[in-house]
Amino acid sequence: MSFLPFFSLETWILLITSICLFAVYGNWTYGIFEKMGIPGPKPVMYFGTLGRHNKVYYVADSECAQKYGKLWGMYEFRRPMLAVMDPDLLKGILVKECFTYFTNRRNFLLNGDLYDSISIAEDDQWRRIRHILSPCFTSGRIKEMFNIMKHHSSKLITHLQPKAQNGDVITMKGFFGPYSMDVIAGCMFSVEMDSSALISHASKLFKFPIALFMFQAFFPALNPLLKFLGFSFFPKKSTNFFKAIVEKMRAERNGRSGQNGQLGHKSDDILQTIVSQVTLFAFGGYETSATTLVFLAYHLARNPEVMKCLQEEIDSTFPDKGPVTYEALMEMEYLDSVVSECMRIHCPVGRLERVAKETVKINGITIPKNMLVMIPIYALHRDPEFWPDPEEFKPDRFSKQNKQRINPYTYLPFGIGPRNCIGMRFALVIVKLALVEVLQNYSLSVCKETEFPLTMHLSSLVEPLNPIKLKLATR
């Protein structure tokens, strides 16, 4: 025993006790799903079930669904998470019991200046903000913004022209990204802005600091202290960037209207709320719409027969490359089928989350208070029970005849119920307009730089690890 360090008895007792407490704390939250009779992967101390099936979380969800069925338990570090894919349960969670038990999403507390954004706000605060913002996303309001969108879609076509003429290999997000941000900024501020700075800051807001994320997950009781000390997942520099834009716009408009804008604390509160929503729409809308357009281009390039059918619909709707109108765009059935099928296979958001405010029993399943309920959209959209040949790109699944047979709780690219995505109509118009104008003028094709199958990224969104590269040919 001489090789052991020489410590006093008290030191040995303290050391052994500390190790035991460390082990007990690291496993304390595990076992809840065994008591509930719900299957799932076995957790590892502190790290839970992360990486047990696949490092890409949404691919892991799909693998778990194949192994455990439509209901399983998992652990994100130490936090229990109930995964639900059963349509009847989803109806209860997302719609029937939304206002009573499942109003709120997960709140990390470390939200910085975005604490009152519509995606994070809770209960009455969320209802108030949703009520204020809803009129901004009606069909009538979007129709008013359509000319702004068309201005930027025309710029997109112009920027693609030399690439198509030269036969260059194109990194698709390098074009769809600026288009998406230009449209969002133009519709929010009604002015031309440099999209490069906006994209730079918006991209940073999706990249959580890994060390901070792990620390708060290991020791959630310290989150209020971390919040008090000013820690946040969202970089202060980026949120301040958007705040400066809003303040500048307000000052200019107050100057034109002859107001000085000095309304005290109430004005500051209103400004803070506006900044939060602007920041959220900028980084959320940019990433999701740009990623959807990239995946659309990828699927059409790999399925030229689908692209040809879509181009035929475009040509018949807008003969001789005529100007795209809002009403005709919204009535294009095959276009809607193509976009819907793309968002089934590659929905930008891999999961939805809700937190149970109280213990509730739904369809025989008891969900404890504070349980994090996770809806694995990526896995749900690939369930062969609901979607035969789920990996195949088949827009006819969403044809007028077939669409009526789809269970609405098996297709959730924008969520469903009272807390669905408020910008759904806006995002679809952005995507459909760009796709129609691109295919009016060009045809897409794969090249040797096009990756297949795609390697998926570990990030919070569903996106490829490597940029998708394609070629364009002028029509």
Q: pLDDT by residue (tens digit) across 101-110?
A: 999 999 989 9
Res 356: pLDDT? 96
Residues 6+ apart with CB under 8 A from 374: 74, 81, 82, 83, 84, 351, 352, 353
Q: How many residues does the chain have?
A: 475
d(CA 230, CA 21): 29
Distance of CA 68 to the CA centre of its chain: 25
Residue 129: how many other CB atoms lie within 10 Å: 20
Q: Which of 118-127, 166-175, 246-255, 397-406 has the lowest mean pLDDT?
A: 246-255
Position 34 pLDDT exceeds 90:
yes
* Structural domain for 154, as ranges: 36-474
With CA atoms as reference, report the closest residue to 347 among 390, 405, 310: 390
Helix axes 424-441, 333-345, angle to 10 degrees: 110
Local confidence band at 258 (pLDDT 50, 70, 90 cut-offs)? low
Which helix (H) or strand (E) covers residue 289, if one does? helix 265-302
Res 79: pLDDT? 95
Q: How many domains does the chain have?
A: 1
**Model-wide pTM > 0.75:** yes
Position 304 pLDDT exceeds 90:
yes
Q: Is residue 25 part of a domain?
A: no
Instruction: For residue 10, give both structure tokens.
Output: 């008290």
How large is the average pLDDT for residues 141-148?
Answer: 95
Res 263: pLDDT? 47
How large is the average pLDDT for residues 354-362?
Answer: 96
Residues 6+ apart with CB under 8 A from 73: 32, 33, 36, 38, 39, 40, 80, 81, 82, 83
Q: Is residue 15 part of a domain?
A: no
Q: Is residue 48 part of a domain?
A: yes
Single-letter residue type at 473 = A
How large is the average pLDDT for residues 449-462?
Answer: 90
Q: Is residue 4 part of a domain?
A: no
pLDDT digits (tens, 9 = 90+) for 1-14: 455 567 788 888 89
Res 414: pLDDT? 95
Q: Has 98 been labeled as part of a binding site?
A: no
How large is the average pLDDT for residues 439-451?
Answer: 95
Instruction: For residue 356, give both structure tokens.
Output: 């149970």
How large is the average pLDDT for residues 207-215?
Answer: 88
Beta bridge partners of 292: none
d(CA 371, CA 348): 25
d(CA 423, CA 436): 20
Q: Is residue 3 part of a domain?
A: no
Position 259 pLDDT exceeds 70:
no
Q: Is residue 109 part of a domain?
A: yes
Q: What percent of the chain has pLDDT over 70?
A: 96
Q: Is residue 20 part of a domain?
A: no
Q: Is residue 311 a contact partner of residue 439, using CB atoms and an 8 Å limit? A: yes
Q: Is residue 451 a contact partner of residue 204, using CB atoms and an 8 Å limit? A: no
Strands in 382-421 per DSSP E: none
How large is the average pLDDT for residues 172-194?
Answer: 89
Find the CATH number of the domain harbouring 58.
1.10.630.10
Instruction: For residue 250, give both structure tokens.
Output: 């307000």
pLDDT digits (tens, 9 = 90+) for 65-86: 999 999 999 999 999 999 999 9
Find tokens 């009526």 and name the residue.
404
Q: Is residue 28 part of a domain?
A: no
Position 290 pLDDT exceeds 80:
yes
Position 17 pLDDT exceeds 50:
yes
Q: Which of 107-111, 272-276, 409-413 has the lowest mean pLDDT?
A: 272-276
For residues 416 and 209, the model is more confident at: 416
Local confidence band at 63 (pLDDT 50, 70, 90 cut-offs)? very high
Q: Is residue 357 a contact partner of residue 369, using CB atoms and an 8 Å limit? A: yes
